[in-house]
Chain A
Amino acid sequence: MSTITAEELSATTLLRFATAGSVDDGKSTLVGRLLHDSKSILSDQLEAVERASASRGQEAPDLALLTDGLRAEREQGITIDVAYRYFATPRRRFILADTPGHVQYTRNMVTGASTAELTVILVDARNGVVEQTRRHAAIAALLRVPHVVLAVNKMDLVDYREPVFAAIAEEFTAYASELGVPEVTAIPISALAGDNVVDPSANMDWYGGPTFLEHLEKVPVSHDLAHCHARLPVQYVIRPQTAEHPDYRGYAGQIAAGTFRVGEAVTVLPSGRTSTISGIDLLGEPVDVAWTTQSVTVLLADDVDVSRGDLIVPTKDAPATTQDVEATVCHVADQPLTVGHRVLIKHGTRTVKAIVKDIPSRLTLDDLSLHPHPGQLVANDIGRVKIRTAQPLPVDSYADSRRTGSFILIDPADGTTLTAGMVGESFASPEPVKDAADDDGWDF
C-alpha cells in the first residue's frame, strides 16, 4: 500500500459486495484473510484480539473477535447483524457487507445484497451444494445481484481434486442460471491455507481462472446506460432566493438510473407535466450530461410544479403510474405483515399510505415451492404481496431498475421498517426451478 501514489488511489473504483455462507463453511476465515492480506487489519486491532482471546483462555487469537463488534455477539460467539467492512487494493476500494449465514437471518442477507454489485456464496467442498447454498442463490437471484461468485472452499480437505470442484460448480451454475442469475464465477479456494484467495494456488494447477481477489478487482461495476430508463427522484428543491440567485429553482436528487442531458424533454411524475432540462448542476458545477449514481440538481425551462417525491423521467421513456403494486417482498420485522395491514410505502423519495390487499403466496426457499395464501408473512419470510397505494406511484419493474423498482413498507404507528419489496416478476427466468411435487405452479 505504501508504494501507491495519491493519484493512483483516487482513480480507483468502488465495489460493494456481500458475503453469504452457512455456519462453519469458512466465511470468517475468508473475510479475515482478505482483510489481513490487504493490510486492513492493523496491529493495534490484532493486539486487541490477542488480548481478548487470551483473557478468554483461548490459545490462538480468535479472528471472529475482530468482526463481532457487539457485546452480545462476543458473548454468544455468533454474528447477529450485518456489518460493513472496508479494504483496498491498488486497483479498487471495497465495501463488504458481512452478513450472517443462519437461516433465520434471511433478512440480513437481503439487506446486504440490496446494495451489492456482487455476492459471494461459499460452499464447503466436502458437502457441495446444500439447501443453504440454494437459499443463498435464490436470494441473490431475487435481489438481482449482477455478479455471483461461488467460492468452493476447503479444497485442501478434498486433496485439491478438480472433479470435486467441477461437479459442484456445474450443479450450482445450472441451478443459478435456471433462477436467472446472469453470471456465475466459480473459484476453488482454501481460505485457511490461502489457495486462490489472494495468491494463485500451487496445489491446483488445473485451475486457470482468476484468484478470488483478482476477480473482485476486475469485475465490471459500470452499467450499460444505453439500455437504462433514466430516472431522477426529486429529493429537495433548492431555492436560494438571494440577490445573486433570485430565480434559481433546482430539483436536487441522486440519479437512480440512466443518463440525463441538457436540452432533453422530460416529464414530471405523477403529475405528468412536461418541460425541458435547461441546466444540470453537478454539486455546484454546470455539466451537459449526468448519469447514475451522481447527485445532481436539475433546472427546468418551464415553471412547473415539482416537489420532493416527484420523479423526473425522459418524456419518451416514462413509466406508467399505478396504485396497485404487485411485488415480491422479504419481511424484515418481528411483527408479522397481514392482509389488511395499513402501512406506509417509501418508493424513491416518496412516502405514501398503502394497504396490503393480498398475500397470494409465500416462498419456501429450500425448494422454491409456494405456499398459497399464507395469510401473513413473519420475519425472514419471502412472499408475493398486492398493495393498494393512496396515490399513484411511478414504479419500474425491479428487473429493469433496482432503485426505482424497490420500496420499503413502514409501520405508520412506530416507524418500524417492515418489509423490503421488489416490483414485478420474482426470478428472471420464465420457468424457474420447482419441486416436482409442487402442484401450485408458478403464478409469479
Chain B
Amino acid sequence: MTTTVAETEEGTVSPYTLSHLDSLESEAVHIFREVAGEFERPVILFSGGKDSIVMLHLALKAFAPAAVPFSLLHVDTGHNFPEVLEYRDRVVAEHGLRLHVASVQEYIDRGALRERPDGTRNPLQTLPLTEKIQAERFDAVFGGGRRDEEKARAKERVFSLRDEFSQWDPRRQRPELWNLYNGRHAPGEHVRVFPLSNWTELDVWQYIAREGIELPEIYFAHEREVFRRAGMWLTAGEWGGPKDGETVEKRLVRYRTVGDMSCTGAVDSDAVTLDDVIAEIAASRLTERGATRADDKMSEAAMEDRKREGYF
C-alpha cells in the first residue's frame, strides 16, 4: 500500500547528496556568517573543550582566507586542567586571535562570589560570564552547546535571545523557520548562538577525525591520579580534592568533556587514538554529561535553571 510518485532508487546515491558531516558543517558555517553579517561585537566562548575547538575550526574555514572576525572569551573557573590552558594559549597565539578572560577566582578573591560547600565552581561561572558580556558589550555570544546533550538544551534555539540580565525564557523563544535566523535585539540584550545545535557527540568526534583537528591530551587515555566522589573519578589537585576518607589511586582514564575540575569526571578508558575514541563512544551506554558531569545530577531541571540565569 505504498503510493510513491518518485521511485526510491535503492543503493544509488546522487553525487549531489551531502554526507551528514558536510551538511552539518555547511549549516554551522552559514550560522557563523549570518552572525558576522548582522552583529557588531560577536565573541566565541572558548573553553579549550572539543566543542569550542570544533567551533573555532569551523569559524576559521568560514572566513578563509581572511581572519576570523570574532574574539574569544574564556570563563576561567580557576580549576582548569593545565593541559587545556596550555592548549588555549597556543591556539590563540597561532591564529592571532584576541582572548578575553572572565575569572571566577577573581570574583571569589574580591568577595563578589562565595565558594560553595560542595566545591563545584560550575554554577559560579554565570556571573563573571554575564558581567563580561555586559562590560564588553558583546551582542552575539557563540556557545558550543548541542541539543543532544540534555533535554533542556533540546529546546534551545540556534539564535537564542537573552535579556539585559542574560536570562533565557524558554516560553518566549522565537520560532526558527527555514534557515532565516532572527538576530534582532535591543541595546543591552544579546543573542546566544549555537552553531553545533544539530550535532551529536559522535558527529563532533567524527568531524575531529575527518579534519585532523588537534585536541588537548586529556581527551585520550592516560594515567592520572584520581579519587571517587559521587560515582565519578575526579582529578586530585589543589582545587580541594580528595577530602578525608577519599583515596587517590592511579588509573588509566580519559575525559569526554572538559570543564571545572571539581565536577568533571574522567572515564576509565584505553582509547588512545581518535578511532578508539569513536568506537568507545559508539558503544557507550551513558551520555556524555551523565558520565562526566556531577552538576547536572543535582536536580531534574538543573540545566534549565542554570540556563535561565544566563549559563551557556
Across the A-B interface, the 5 shortest Cβ-Cβ residue pairs:
A415-B184, A44-B290, A69-B151, A222-B14, A2-B283
Q: Which residues of A, 381-432, contact B by the 8 Å Cβ criterion?
A: 402-403, 406-408, 410, 414-417, 420
- Is the Cβ of A86 less than 8 Å from the Cβ of B200? yes
Residue-by-residue, is B11-40 near A (CB-CB < 8 Å gives 1, otherwise 0)? 001101111111111110110011011000
- Is the Cβ of A225 less than 8 Å from the Cβ of B16? yes
Complex: A81 Cα to B36 Cα, angstroms: 29
Instruction: Given A45-B287, A240-B67, A308-B37, answer yes or no on A209-B16 (Cβ-Cβ < 8 Å).
Output: no
A44 cross-chain contacts in B, Cβ below 8 A: 286-287, 290-291
Tell me if B152 is interfacial: C-beta within 8 Å of chain A.
yes
Instruction: Given A6-B206, A403-B179, A415-B184, answer yes or no on A293-B23 (Cβ-Cβ < 8 Å).
Output: yes
Within the complex, which residue of A9, A72, A83, A416 is in contact with B154, where a contact is CB–CB below 8 Å?
Answer: A83
Tell me if A284 is interfacial: C-beta within 8 Å of chain B.
yes
Complex: A416 Cα to B183 Cα, angstroms: 10
- Is the Cβ of A45 less than 8 Å from the Cβ of B210? no
What is the total number of residues of chain A having a CB less than 8 Å from a CB of chain B? 100
Complex: A414 Cα to B304 Cα, angstroms: 25
Instruction: Given A84-B197, A185-B2, answer yes or no on A9-B206 (Cβ-Cβ < 8 Å).
Output: yes
- Is the Cβ of B175 less than 8 Å from the Cβ of A417? yes
- Is the Cβ of A254 less than 8 Å from the Cβ of B203? no
Instruction: Given A43-B285, A236-B36, A254-B26, answer yes or no on A182-B5 (Cβ-Cβ < 8 Å).
Output: yes
Complex: A344 Cα to B38 Cα, angstroms: 14
Tell me if B93 is interfacial: C-beta within 8 Å of chain A.
no
- Is the Cβ of A235 less than 8 Å from the Cβ of B178? no
A225 cross-chain contacts in B, Cβ below 8 A: 16
- Is the Cβ of B22 less than 8 Å from the Cβ of A294? yes
- Is the Cβ of B21 less than 8 Å from the Cβ of A10? yes
Residue-by-residue, is A206-246 near B (CB-CB < 8 Å gives 1, otherwise 0)? 01011000000011111101000000000110111110110
- Is the Cβ of A2 less than 8 Å from the Cβ of B2? no
Shortest B202–chain A CB gap in Å is 7
- Is the Cβ of A293 less than 8 Å from the Cβ of B26? yes
Tell me if B247 is interfacial: C-beta within 8 Å of chain A.
no
B25 cross-chain contacts in A, Cβ below 8 A: 283, 295
A88 cross-chain contacts in B, Cβ below 8 A: 200, 202
A173 cross-chain contacts in B, Cβ below 8 A: 3
List 25 A–B pairs whose Cβ atoms lie within 8 Å, in order of A's numbering.
Answer: A1-B283, A6-B209, A13-B17, A69-B154, A71-B301, A72-B171, A83-B154, A95-B198, A111-B177, A182-B6, A209-B2, A222-B16, A236-B37, A236-B63, A238-B64, A281-B64, A283-B61, A284-B61, A284-B64, A295-B29, A346-B180, A346-B182, A408-B180, A414-B184, A414-B186
Shortest A250–chain B CB gap in Å is 8
Which of B103-111, B124-132, B263-271, B274-282 has 4 or more CB atoms under 8 Å from chain A? B274-282
B274 to A, closest residue via Cβ: A6
Tell me if A48 is interfacial: C-beta within 8 Å of chain B.
yes
- Is the Cβ of A93 less than 8 Å from the Cβ of B203? yes
- Is the Cβ of A240 less than 8 Å from the Cβ of B177? no
Complex: A68 Cα to B304 Cα, angstroms: 12
Tell me if A278 is interfacial: C-beta within 8 Å of chain B.
no
Tell me if A115 is interfacial: C-beta within 8 Å of chain B.
yes
- Is the Cβ of B1 less than 8 Å from the Cβ of A169? yes
- Is the Cβ of B16 less than 8 Å from the Cβ of A183? no
- Is the Cβ of B66 less than 8 Å from the Cβ of A223? no
Complex: A11 Cα to B49 Cα, angstroms: 26
What is the total number of residues of chain B having a CB less than 8 Å from a CB of chain A? 81
B14 to A, closest residue via Cβ: A222
Complex: A19 Cα to B274 Cα, angstroms: 35
Residues of B within 8 A of A (CB): 1-6, 8-10, 13-14, 16-27, 29-30, 33-34, 36-37, 61-67, 147-148, 150-155, 161, 170-171, 173-180, 182, 184-186, 197-198, 200, 202-203, 206, 209-210, 275, 278-279, 282-287, 290-291, 300-301, 304
Complex: A403 Cα to B27 Cα, angstroms: 13
Within the complex, which residue of B24, B177, B284, B304 is in contact with A110, where a contact is CB–CB below 8 Å?
Answer: B177
Complex: A108 Cα to B175 Cα, angstroms: 8
A114 cross-chain contacts in B, Cβ below 8 A: 177-178
Shortest B19–chain A CB gap in Å is 6
Tell me if A376 is interfacial: C-beta within 8 Å of chain B.
no
Complex: A414 Cα to B161 Cα, angstroms: 12
- Is the Cβ of B155 less than 8 Å from the Cβ of A70? yes
- Is the Cβ of A69 less than 8 Å from the Cβ of B282? no
- Is the Cβ of A283 less than 8 Å from the Cβ of B13? no
A241 to B, closest residue via Cβ: B66
A48 to B, closest residue via Cβ: B300
A120 cross-chain contacts in B, Cβ below 8 A: none
Shortest A229–chain B CB gap in Å is 15
- Is the Cβ of B65 less than 8 Å from the Cβ of A284? yes
B200 to A, closest residue via Cβ: A86
Known: A183-B5, A293-B18. 14 other contacts (CB 8 A): A2-B279, A14-B18, A44-B291, A69-B155, A70-B171, A71-B304, A93-B203, A115-B179, A225-B16, A236-B37, A252-B62, A295-B30, A407-B180, A417-B182
B29 cross-chain contacts in A, Cβ below 8 A: 254, 283, 295
A283 cross-chain contacts in B, Cβ below 8 A: 25, 29, 61-62, 64
B19 cross-chain contacts in A, Cβ below 8 A: 10-14
Tell me if A166 is interfacial: C-beta within 8 Å of chain B.
yes
Residue-by-residue, is A169-201 near B (CB-CB < 8 Å gives 1, otherwise 0)? 100010000000011111110000000000000
Tell me if A67 is interfacial: C-beta within 8 Å of chain B.
yes
B201 to A, closest residue via Cβ: A86
Complex: A11 Cα to B18 Cα, angstroms: 9
Shortest A209–chain B CB gap in Å is 4
- Is the Cβ of B177 less than 8 Å from the Cβ of A295? no
Within the complex, which residue of B4, B177, B284 is in contact with A417, where a contact is CB–CB below 8 Å?
Answer: B177
- Is the Cβ of A6 less than 8 Å from the Cβ of B285? no
Instruction: Given A93-B20, A238-B66, answer yes or no on A67-B151 (Cβ-Cβ < 8 Å).
Output: yes
- Is the Cβ of A252 less than 8 Å from the Cβ of B33? yes
- Is the Cβ of B290 less than 8 Å from the Cβ of A42? yes
Instruction: Given A6-B275, A13-B20, A283-B64, answer yes or no on A210-B170 (Cβ-Cβ < 8 Å).
Output: no
Instruction: Given A9-B202, A11-B19, A72-B171, answer yes or no on A218-B10 (Cβ-Cβ < 8 Å).
Output: yes
Shortest A133–chain B CB gap in Å is 16
Tell me if A74 is interfacial: C-beta within 8 Å of chain B.
yes
B153 cross-chain contacts in A, Cβ below 8 A: 69
- Is the Cβ of B186 less than 8 Å from the Cβ of A415? yes
- Is the Cβ of B285 less than 8 Å from the Cβ of A42? yes
Complex: A95 Cα to B147 Cα, angstroms: 11
A242 cross-chain contacts in B, Cβ below 8 A: 65-66
Q: Which residues of A, 267-304, contact B by the 8 Å Cβ criterion?
A: 281, 283-284, 291-295
Tell me if A155 is interfacial: C-beta within 8 Å of chain B.
no
A12 cross-chain contacts in B, Cβ below 8 A: 19-20
